[in-house]
Structure 1
């Protein structure tokens, strides 16, 4: 079922990809700091990824949305939820992920957009669980997962898309169930606070 979702937060818009997103996305994917814990992407690889992400949103009505910060920048990266690729050992399921351009780090955008994506997944789509994963050493991304209330599995896993022997092959998996998310969201609301602290 297509939900045709566009998501707004206090500072951001999570939307379908546009043709003019591809150039800043390629710049983002060429930034060695941004891609420190991911395999590098060439310009054509970046364009192809943007095309796949847009197609996924067309198919499902949700996915890894392009993120716009109105009044700040028309494109800051992507955040969202999408079905897991079948090659992952914990598939099937749905993952949450983010990748923001370096100038927009440290503003809480990842946490703000990810909380909105979780709300879509649990409240509108009715998912039972959402997972996240990253290279074990990626402490910045893991900190966002912690802020979202996700729980790390005890044992890391080898990402099948990363070559054997590569420094980034070992990944850590985080999980968040709908009931757990509801408890922490309702608890924060009862306390008068925001559901997730800004990153």
Structure 2
């Protein structure tokens, strides 16, 4: 089982017990406002998300990690990698993404988890490039990509919902371990 430990977090594969706390995170409209269509997700949709993430782990050797607080074992959210399907500008590239419950915002957990996932992508999986696609105006996530050293590469429109997206990228040659 793939597991990464940081000073405060454990990034790990998904367990059955993660469905309820992740469903609670996905049910929060404030958490979900910058993700996909911006609407909360049901428990059934969350179960489908986890199933898809686990399938990607099996097929690609990477995927979304469950983010657990090291001290309490509480599920804080998800961070990890996926092969981007859209927008067309990054389709087929590996993208890093995250979502944490509101109770875990403002404590540096997203940056800590994303940094660990990026190192995993570049060092353990040998990827030479990672992108991030953010809804334009998502200043909290923009701060995370800035801390990762990712640079703006362009803008695009969401192919289904039409909102503007900002594309960031990072090549291994740019990354400071």
Alignment of 1:122-141 (within 5 A): 122-141=122-141
Provide structure 2 residue ranges, at least 5 long, that are not aligned to the other structure. Answer: none
SS at match of 1:52: helix
SS at match of 2:7: coil
Alignment of 1:92-111 (within 5 A): 92-111=92-111
Measured in 1, the distance between the counterparts of 2:135 and 2:86 equals: 19
Whether the aligned pair in 1 keeps the contact of 2:86 and 2:159 (CA below 8 Å) is no
What is the Cα deviation at residue 121 of structure 1?
1.0
Measured in 2, the distance between the counterparts of 1:73 and 1:138 equals: 28
Q: Of residues 174, 180, 189 in structure 1, which corresponds to 2:174? A: 180
Alignment of 1:61-140 (within 5 A): 61-85=61-85, 88-140=88-140
Matched residues, number: 174
Whether the aligned pair in 2 keeps the contact of 1:5 and 1:62 (CA below 8 Å) is no
More strand by share: 2
- 1:29-71 CA distance string (max 9 Å, x none): 1111111212222221121111111222233332111111122
Matched, 1:16 2:13: yes
Q: Hey, what does 1:191 align to over in structure 2?
A: none
Q: Hey, what does 1:188 align to over in structure 2?
A: none
Whether the aligned pair in 2 keeps the contact of 1:12 and 1:68 (CA below 8 Å) is yes
Tell me the TM-score normalised to structure 1 length: 0.82
What is the Cα deviation at residue 85 of structure 1?
2.1
* RMSD between superposed Cα atoms in Å: 1.6
Q: After TM superposition, where is structure 1 displaced by more than 6 Å over at least 4 residues in a row?
A: none
Whether the aligned pair in 1 keeps the contact of 2:4 and 2:10 (CA below 8 Å) is yes
What is the Cα deviation at residue 87 of structure 1?
5.9
Tell me the TM-score normalised to structure 2 length: 0.91
Q: Hey, what does 1:29 align to over in structure 2?
A: 26
- 1:51-102 CA distance string (max 9 Å, x none): 1112222333321111111223431100111222266332211011100000
Whether the aligned pair in 1 keeps the contact of 2:87 and 2:157 (CA below 8 Å) is no
